[in-house]
Amino acid sequence: MVSKRLMDVPESGTVAIANIVSQLKHEGIEIISFSMGEPDFDTPDNIKEACVRSLNKGFTHYTPSTGIPELRKAIAERASNDNKIKCTAKNVLVTPTKQALFMIALAYLDPGDEVILPDPAWVSYEAVIRLAGAKPVYVTTKFEDNFKVNADMMASVVTERTKMLILNSPSNPTGSVLPRDTLKGIADLCIDKKIRVLSDEIYEHIIYEGEHVSIASFDNMFDRTLTISGLSKTYAMTGWRLGWLIAPEKDISAVNKLQTHSITCVTSFTQPAAVEALKGTQEPRKRMVEEFKKRRNLAFDLINEIDGVECNRPEGAFYLFPRYSHKISSEDLAMYMMKEAHVAITPGRSFGPAGENHFRLSYATSEKNIIDGIASMKRAFSKL
């Protein structure tokens, strides 16, 4: 019998769909997949070459648990210059981004604590909250507001048990980007109520309109903010599992205690490659974002041509989160599209209660797949 805390953890809808896609492809059934949040580009050559050089030099042993000094410095410089977070290498822990999320939950949440998060939101937030014995408290956002949360909405659910709130901008699954004035209001609330913030900024460089603002850059917020990000989405490095946590030194020390008892350190020979990613040419990154924007526009136009389906224009990340009027659950819709259209989408309910009657579509795939896949979905919707 597995533990009760594991039984309380929701399954990852994205991974569940991806597993089905993999099995169908193994059976010879071709599926166009819009389910995974993974760029279809290759990791840029300069980054791969830096990794090969580190291997050839024999850089294959343990590193400091917090990461090699050169990488911690490069991350701090990027955060200081791009995001205006006043930090140094001492404020950086090199760790896989999802690992950071789990370690933060274990380090700071106790049974009975409450964590505020927007609904819809990435399902792993709820998972780590529940694993720590804490309670997720959803703040329902609206399609009409492009799923944006604000300080008043969060303030309405604050109690004496509120320990933390989670922000994700640009958002998975909605692609919404929180503006500066909204983040300033949330920052003021957290200062007033002494609430800690976990800010997931993994899509920080994939923005088409507006700007990315780190809540840790506001006055008096660095000491209460845990900022996580990484290389997976921006540099097409999902399989490298390279990310980081930026926080006050005492928090880095606390979370690093968990790292030493789990993975010990990030894979050694990938860390010099991460330095190259951050300090080398940024042209491949810029070209990827330009291509994502073209695909965003294409997918947005095509999905809105389907009767009974409507979608906001996402400002960042690489997802659409359309709403549909058909009388079918989002989970059943995903299975129907797999069978009828040979297209994989992720059920909206996988991202929280407000995600029902929505689905997530990742346009991190080719224009041909977008055109063919959405055309097939349009035919399938017409049969519902």
CATH number assigned to the domain with residue range 61-279, chosen from the 4 options 3.40.50.800, 3.40.640.10, 3.40.50.1100, 3.90.1150.10: 3.40.640.10
pLDDT tens sequence across 270-315: 999 999 999 999 999 999 999 999 999 999 999 999 999 999 999 9
Strand, helix or coil for residue 32:
strand
Place of tokens 């992720």: 346
The full set of domain ranges for the chain reads 4-43+283-382, 61-279
| Confidence bin at 21 (pLDDT 50/70/90) | confident
- Identify the residue with better confidence: 35 or 109: 109
Assigned superfamily of 4-43+283-382:
Aspartate Aminotransferase, domain 1 (3.90.1150.10)
What pLDDT, on the 0 to 100 scale, is given for residue 19?
A: 78
What pLDDT, on the 0 to 100 scale, is given for residue 8?
A: 79
CA 123 to chain centre: 10
Residue 314 token pair: 């996402």
Residue 125: partners with Cβ closer than 8 Å, 6 or more residues away? 101, 115, 117, 136, 166, 168, 200
Of 150, 136, 217, 218, whose CA–CA distance to 182 is shortest? 150
pLDDT tens sequence across 207-231: 999 899 999 999 999 999 999 999 9
Q: What rounded mean pLDDT belongs to the chain?
A: 95
- Would you mind telling me the total number of residues written for the chain in this entry? 384
| Confidence bin at 10 (pLDDT 50/70/90) | confident
CA distances from 85 to 66, 81, 89, 134, 214 (A): 19, 8, 12, 29, 7
What pLDDT, on the 0 to 100 scale, is given for residue 7?
A: 80
Residue 103 token pair: 């370690």
Question: What percentage of the chain has pLDDT greater than the value 90?
Answer: 90
* Cα 273 to Cα 261: distance, rounded to the nearest angstrom: 25
Tell me, yes or no, if the two domains 4-43+283-382 and 61-279 fold the same way. Answer: no
Q: Compute the average pLDDT of residues 96-107.
A: 97
Q: Compute the average pLDDT of residues 224-240.
A: 97
Residue 279 token pair: 């300090």
* Cα 144 to Cα 95: distance, rounded to the nearest angstrom: 37
What pLDDT, on the 0 to 100 scale, is given for residue 334?
A: 95
Q: Residue 366 pLDDT > 90, yes or no?
A: yes
Residue 245 token pair: 């946590």
Of 378, 304, 368, whose CA–CA distance to 341 is shortest? 378
* Secondary structure of 146-199 as H, E, C letters: CCCCCHHHHHCCCCCCEEEEEEECCCCCCCCCCCHHHHHHHHHHHHHHCCEEEE
What pLDDT, on the 0 to 100 scale, is given for residue 189?
A: 98
* Cα 165 to Cα 180: distance, rounded to the nearest angstrom: 17
CA distances from 148 to 119, 138, 181, 299 (A): 9, 13, 12, 21
Q: Is 226 left (phi over 0), alpha (psi -120 to 50) or beta?
A: beta
Residue 319 token pair: 């997802």
| Confidence bin at 4 (pLDDT 50/70/90) | confident
pLDDT tens sequence across 27-55: 877 899 999 889 999 999 999 999 999 99
| Confidence bin at 13 (pLDDT 50/70/90) | low
pLDDT tens sequence across 139-165: 999 999 999 999 999 999 999 999 999
What pLDDT, on the 0 to 100 scale, is given for residue 128?
A: 96
